[in-house]
Structures are given as C-alpha cells and as structure tokens.
C-alpha cells in the first residue's frame, strides 16, 4: 500500500508544470549556463595574462648604477624578454607608462650601499590597469611577479656569498608596487582590496533587485488573488494610474532599501580600504587614493541613483508579472528564473573589463542594464567610460517606460482575465485534461 501511495504522490507532483520546470529543468539549464560563462571568463583571463606576461615591455631606471643594481638588472633580463635599460629616466613613471611601457622599475640611489650593509634595499615598481576585474588584478600581480622573480634570483646569489647573514639573504629587497588607475597611483594592495569588494558588489545589488521584484509582483498578484482586481478595473480612472499607484507604493520601500544599501556598502568598502591603506609593520602608509577616493561622493551619488533606477525597473517588471499571475503563489514561478538569469552577466563582469568587450558584447551588456546597472556603473567609473554610464542609465529608464506602458495596456484590454485563467488551468493541469477529452471524443 505504501508503494502505491508513493507512486500516486510522485505522479501528482510531476503533473504540476511549475514544479517540473522550476525544480528539475530550470536549475540544470541555468547552472550549466553559469558554469560555461565562468569557465569561459576564467579561460580568457588565463590566456590574456599568460600572453601579456610573456611580452611584457619593461623599462629599468637604474639611478644607483652600482654593481649590485647592475646584477639585479641582469636578473631582470633573464626573466623578462623585453627590457629597456636606462641609468636615469627624465620622464616620470606615469609618463613612461603612457608611452607604452607595461612595467617601470626604479632602482633608487643607495641600492648597492644598502645591500653591502645588509640592509634591505628599496625597489619601486609601477604598472597600469584599465579597470577593476579579476583579469586586471591577475595581470598586474603576474607582471609584478617578474620583478619578484628577479629578487628571488638575487636572494639565491647572496646565499652563496660568504659572510652574508641568511635572514638578510632570504629577503634582500623591499618591493613597493604601485598601479596607475584613473590617473592616480594606487598601492597594489588597495587595488586587490577593491577587486575583492567587487565580488560583494555583484551579489548585493542582485539581492536588493530580487526583493524589489518580489514586492512589486506580490502586491499586484494579491489584487488578483483577493478578487479586487475586477473592482479596480471598473473604477473610472485611467489604467496607468493603477499601475503608477502600485509603482509609487513599491518605490517608497525601494527608496528606503536603496538608502540602507548605500550606507551599508559605504561602510563595507570603507572598512576594506582602511585595512588596505594601513601601513605594514615598519612601513609607510600606502600611497595613492584609499578609502576617501574609492568612496567618492560623486560615485556614491551616482551609484545610489543607478540603484534606484534599477529597482524602479524591476518593480515595473514585477507589476507586469503580478498582473498576469492569477495569485501570489504563481508569482514565484516567474520571479525565480528571472532572479537567477540576471546573475549570468554579473558573473561575466567579474572577469572582464568593459574596454575588453567587443562592440556587440558592450551592446548586449547594456541591454542587461535594468538588472546590472550598479555593477556596470562602478566598473565604468574606474575605466573613465562615462558614455557607458549614460547609456546604461538611458536603457534602464527606457525599460521602465516600456513596462509601464505594457502594464497599463494589458489592464486596458479584456485579455487580462482570460490570460490569467489560461495560466491557472495550465498550472492545475485541467487544460491538458480537457484537451485530452476533446481528442478522445473525436
């Protein structure tokens, strides 16, 4: 008897199209797509980093010109294929990077004297980055690794010299790594911290977006579930007023959510930047911009504005979905897939910079702006791609207006109730049974 009851329950469950699609088919499809996207991004990252490091264009400014500095340059020439040597550089590191060099290594005066006195010598390394992504950070770290490899060779040489203390020979150099970003020099640790905070930046807005989508959709679906939609449709008011009332009601909560999100995000990033800018033991504080520059007032205002527009866009989408759904339970059938799908472009943005995308890729990314505008705007800010920011905001606003028009048009027509009835029949399976009876009679 237990076997028959189990078979009955399984058959009843599988008759529900929502369960079959949402719990069985959709997870496989979505996670497969996400896996492919992440794999493609990681593969592209590894290939780009490998190719760039092999062809790194390095210039050495040897201001010391001692035996030890010359020895260190010879080690650099062994680990890098394209090294330009100069006893002094008239141009600044920023100018040299703008001239096409990927890496600028400055050996200051006193280098050889410090090594002779067994005092760690300083080496300054300058490089540049286009944007904030895992690819950019990995590339910078790999290029700085070329300099560290030469330092390891110098360490091995000193270990073979008589009278050199092992504790000094193991760490003869202090390498200060600086990255040029947005025209400013940033400590490499700060860049790494910014990149790590981008991971949080990807998921946090998506959580808020999903909440706004659920609130708007449920608010509209309850009108159908409680049978008050018919009363609203009989009122002598324009249908757009009904839609706008739902949107404004949702946006009040969304505005509070936006303020909370921006405040929490500023504290989160500020804490990370403070740790990254803190001086190492015995060292100086990190140069370049830190907390104050990342949590820039202009960026925070722009970020908050874009978050609000994105939430308004998904709220409009929620109203449209809620209008179609016959009850609040059916809303979950639509919200779940939409919430997961919008994560895919966000995952891709973890690995790539906007400037590395093809024109078609940039257009495709802009079309996801209503859901990913927060991530796009922050990345575009660091890449100084202000046109991309304006385009993303424009697409989001157009998305809002289009969905408001569709929602009001749907409420104007008499097809809304019939559409809801069809969806309800599909969920219950009665529509399929009715069609089977009709075919059997014929």
347 Cβ neighbours under 8 A, 6+ residues apart: 34, 37, 38, 41, 202
Q: Where does a domain end: 126, 154, 181?
A: 181
User: Do residues 320 and 388 both lie within one domain?
Assistant: yes
Q: How many domains does the chain have?
A: 2
User: Do residues 198 and 346 both lie within one domain?
Assistant: yes
Residue 115 has what pLDDT?
A: 92
Q: Specify the residue for token string 């799908």.
A: 341
CA angle (124 as vertex; 385, 161 as ends), nearest 5 = 150
Distances in Å between the Cα of 11 and the Cα atoms of 4, 15, 17, 398, 427 are 11, 6, 12, 45, 15
Task: For residue 76, give the CATH number of its domain.
Answer: 3.40.1710.10
Q: Where does a domain end: 181, 202, 227?
A: 181
User: Do residues 242 and 142 both lie within one domain?
Assistant: no
Give the closest residue to 359 by CA, choosing from 387, 379, 333, 337.
387
User: Do residues 161 and 228 both lie within one domain?
Assistant: no
User: Do residues 162 and 306 both lie within one domain?
Assistant: no
Residue 41 domain-assigned (yes or no):
no
Residue 8 domain-assigned (yes or no):
no
CA torsion, ordered 250, 251, 255, 257, to nearest 10 deg: 30
Residue 30 domain-assigned (yes or no):
no
User: Do residues 230 and 374 both lie within one domain?
Assistant: yes
Distance CA 248, CA 241 (A): 10
Q: Give me the domain span that covers residue 145.
A: 55-181
Give the pLDDT of the chain (442 residues) as one tens digit per residue: 677 777 777 777 667 666 666 566 766 776 676 677 667 767 777 777 787 778 888 999 999 989 999 999 999 999 888 899 988 788 888 899 888 899 999 999 999 999 999 999 999 999 988 777 778 888 888 888 889 999 999 999 999 888 888 889 999 999 999 998 877 788 887 777 777 666 666 666 666 666 677 777 677 667 666 667 667 667 777 777 777 777 777 777 767 766 776 677 667 666 655 665 555 544 444 444 444 445 567 877 887 788 888 878 877 777 777 777 666 566 666 666 666 666 677 777 777 788 878 888 888 888 888 878 878 888 888 888 888 889 989 998 898 888 878 877 776 655 555 555 565 555 555 544 444 444 444 4
Residue 40 domain-assigned (yes or no):
no
Cβ distance 111 to 64 under 8 Å?
A: yes
Q: What DSSP state is assigned to residue 356?
A: G
Give the closest residue to 44 by CA, choosing from 437, 375, 361.
361
User: Do residues 122 and 243 both lie within one domain?
Assistant: no
Distance CA 313, CA 34 (A): 24
User: Do residues 141 and 250 both lie within one domain?
Assistant: no
User: Do residues 121 and 227 both lie within one domain?
Assistant: no
Residue 223 domain-assigned (yes or no):
yes
User: Do residues 214 and 337 both lie within one domain?
Assistant: yes
Question: pTM here?
Answer: 0.67
User: Do residues 129 and 177 both lie within one domain?
Assistant: yes
Query: 175 in helix, strand or coil?
Result: strand
Residue 23 domain-assigned (yes or no):
no
259 Cβ neighbours under 8 A, 6+ residues apart: 304
Residue 182 has what pLDDT?
A: 76
Q: Where does a domain end: 181, 215, 247?
A: 181
User: Do residues 147 and 230 both lie within one domain?
Assistant: no
Characterize the bridge pairing of strands 103-107 and 82-86.
unpaired
Alpha helices per DSSP H over 55-186: 67-79, 93-98, 111-116, 134-159, 166-169
Residue 144 domain-assigned (yes or no):
yes
Residue 284 domain-assigned (yes or no):
yes
């Amino acid at each position: 008897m237990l076997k028959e009851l189990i078979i009955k329950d399984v058959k009843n469950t599988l008759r529900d199209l929502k369960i079959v699609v949402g719990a069985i088919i959709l997870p496989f499809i979505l996670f497969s797509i996400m896996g492919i996207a992440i794999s493609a991004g990681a593969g592209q990252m590894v290939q780009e980093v490998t190719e760039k490091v092999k062809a790194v264009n390095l210039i050495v400014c040897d201001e010391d010109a001692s035996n030890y500095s010359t020895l260190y340059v010879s080690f650099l020439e062994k680990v890098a294929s394209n090294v330009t040597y100069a006893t002094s550089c008239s141009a600044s590191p920023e100018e040299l990077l703008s001239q096409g060099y990927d890496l600028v290594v400055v050996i200051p005066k006193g280098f050889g004297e410090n090594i002779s006195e067994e005092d760690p010598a300083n080496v300054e390394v300058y490089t540049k980055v286009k944007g904030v992504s895992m690819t950019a950070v990995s590339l910078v770290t790999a290029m700085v690794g070329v300099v560290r490899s030469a330092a390891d060779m110098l360490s091995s040489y000193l270990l073979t010299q008589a009278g050199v203390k092992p504790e000094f020979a193991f760490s003869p150099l202090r390498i200060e790594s600086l990255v040029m970003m947005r025209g400013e020099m940033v400590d490499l640790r700060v860049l790494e911290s910014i990149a790590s905070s981008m991971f949080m930046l990807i998921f946090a807005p998506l959580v808020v977006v999903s909440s706004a989508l659920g609130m708007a959709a449920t608010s509209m679906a309850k009108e159908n579930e409680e049978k008050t939609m018919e009363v609203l449709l009989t009122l002598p008011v324009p249908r757009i007023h009904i839609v706008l009332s739902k949107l404004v009601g949702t946006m009040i909560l969304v505005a509070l959510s936006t303020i909370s999100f921006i405040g929490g995000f500023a504290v989160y990033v500020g804490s990370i930047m403070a740790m990254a800018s803190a001086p190492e033991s015995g060292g100086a504080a990190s140069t370049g911009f830190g907390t104050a520059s990342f949590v820039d007032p202009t960026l925070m205002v722009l970020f908050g504005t874009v978050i609000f527009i994105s939430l308004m866009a998904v709220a409009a989408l929620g109203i449209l979905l809620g209008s179609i759904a016959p009850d609040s339970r059916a809303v979950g059938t639509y919200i779940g897939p939409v919430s997961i799908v919008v994560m895919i472009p966000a995952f891709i943005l973890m690995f790539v910079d906007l400037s590395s995308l093809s024109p078609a890729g940039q257009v495709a990314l802009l079309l996801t702006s209503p859901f990913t505008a927060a991530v796009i705007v922050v990345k575009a800010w660091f890449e100084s791609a202000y046109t991309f920011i304006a385009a993303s905001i424009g697409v989001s606003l157009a998305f809002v207006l289009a969905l408001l028009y569709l929602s009001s048009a749907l409420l104007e027509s008499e097809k809304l109730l019939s559409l809801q009835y069809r969806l309800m029949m599909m969920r219950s399976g009665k529509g399929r049974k009715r069609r089977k009876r009709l075919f059997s009679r014929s």
